[in-house]
Amino acid sequence: MNLQEEQQLVLSAQKDPEAFGALFDVYHPKILAYLIHRTGEVALAQDLASETFFKALNKLWQFRWRSISFSAWLYRIATNEMHMYFRGKRSLSLENLMENSYFDVSDPTDLEEELKGAEAALSRQEDFLRIRAQLEQLPTLYQDAITLRYLEEKEIAEIAEILGKREGTVRSLLSRGLQKLRTALQHPEPSRIVDVEASFLFPPSKL
Amino acid sequence: MKTIEEQIKDARCATPDLPLHRAQLRRALLSSQKFEGSSLYTMKRLLPSTALLLLILGLSFAFHPENTGHPLTTPTASAQEVLANAAETFQSLTDAEIAILNEKFGVDSADILTEAHEASDLHLAHVETTFENGMTSYSFPEDTFSSDGEMSFTMSISGESQNNLTFLEYTKADGSIVRLGVDPEKGYAPSLIFVNSPDEMSVTMGGLTEGQEDIIMVNGEAGGNMTFQNGPVSGEIPAEYNPMDGEITVDENGCTHWTSDDGMMGGGGC
């Protein structure tokens, strides 16, 4: 799907639920993969992906093409949901979502089997799990930038859109994050790098 | 020896797919109550002739002699446009900015915007005020305040601004009237909220303004002691106390002061 087609689909989705379904089909696999890469947990990623699309559906009317691409908007929602989860705000599970929608899960056993199979498949990805173990020691902003750049293969400009940062800031995050990751991989003893470093680098915007 | 970038790219695994979960989620989203309840989506299902009839009825109402002289409202379309601009500006905020805005407002700003969008009576309220003077130029209907001598008054101030605000007004499900002040010179950024309800009044000022971020919180009831959360205890609240009758000033040190028309004074954090 090219940008023009996507723009047309987004415009339609604001009036047509089927168009939203088409966007869901394109982006759900990508958002789920991003959340698995970022969290390392299939069940959590599944919940966060559910919440991401639930939020996107409810806030689609707020979306305007000019300010941010739809793709970046979805990744931004997913990133925010993940941050909120790690700050202690629980996400909706698919089951809760369906209850709120008066919609029954038809075959919960099948869903559980699918989840177990996916978790088993992920547990066999040793290279990924080794990198992830070191990546998760970094401050959150570095994890976001490195995951989006090297695991999701996003361009710097799109990462900047997703994280709401300038491109130069993203480059700095990547450069410093990779340096920290390189050091951590050379000296695999886990050492927690505190968030305060990122805070000094990127002071919060003043309102 | 592989570079660190190459190592990460090589570690990019074929993430497990969840087709059953995806199908269930898709069905849940497209059949959700929220989805069905949205006017944007239900309007699509209306036959063109029905839509035309509604349009004629709407125009008849708008131009009815009893309604044309109404001083407070303008057509809903304009309000929706202002709201859409406010939402767009809100979307561009960073997490940190949204967190501060939510703290100032005391509510989730996204929820306020969504609530306004879904309100059936959203309109522009003709209130001429700046951010700085919002507290003194806005009058609440008397029957929504101190009806039984009780008062709960919350006020938060963030900086100062001389910009004229545009006010969106709508009625909440519980009957409260919300006036959301947005700043046209800052992309209609949410800046100020007034909420009127039969037994409680809250006024929140905040938003994308420069300057100090002091907060004054006044909680109490008429006849009781007025306390400032971030400042000194100021004295007894008079029975007929109306916090709208006074003015707020910010001195050169960034300290906020409040003076009522009856001479009562208070101060907040610096």
Which residues neighbour B252 within 8 Å (Cβ) at sequence distance 6 or greater? Answer: none
Distance, in Å, from the CA atom of A78 to the CA atom of A53, rounded to the nearest integer, reads 8
- CA–CA min distance A2, chain B (Å): 23
pTM for the model stands at: 0.53
SS3 content of chain A, % helix, strand, coil (to 5): 70, 0, 30
Residues of B in contact with A100 (CB under 8 A): 32-33
Residues B165-222 pLDDT 10s: 677 888 877 777 777 777 777 777 777 666 654 444 344 444 443 332 233 333 333 3
CA A13: distance to chain centroid? 22
Asked if A142 and A173 touch (Cβ cutoff 8 Å), the reply is yes
Residues of A in contact with B111 (CB under 8 A): none
Burial of B48 (C-beta count, 10 Å sphere; 0-12/13-18/19+): exposed
Question: Cβ of B16 and A117 within 8 Å?
Answer: yes
Asked if B181 and B192 touch (Cβ cutoff 8 Å), the reply is yes
- CA–CA min distance B109, chain A (Å): 13
Asked if B266 and B257 touch (Cβ cutoff 8 Å), the reply is yes
Question: Cβ of A17 and B41 within 8 Å?
Answer: yes
Question: Cβ of B12 and A151 within 8 Å?
Answer: yes
Closest CA to B152 of B182, B189, B197: B197
For residue B193, give the DSSP letter.
E
Nearest C-alpha in A relative to B21: A111
Radius of gyration of chain A (CA): 18
- CA–CA min distance B203, chain A (Å): 19
Tell me the pLDDT of chain A (207 aa) as tens digits.
777 777 788 878 877 778 889 999 999 999 999 999 999 999 999 999 998 998 888 777 666 655 678 898 899 889 988 988 887 766 666 666 666 555 555 566 778 888 899 888 888 888 888 889 889 889 888 999 999 999 999 999 999 989 888 889 899 999 999 999 888 877 765 544 434 333 333 333 333
SS3 content of chain B, % helix, strand, coil (to 5): 35, 20, 40
Q: For chain B, what is the mean pLDDT?
A: 55
ipTM above 0.85, yes or no: no
Question: What value, to the nearest 5°, has the Cα angle with vertex B265 and ends B151 and B190?
Answer: 60
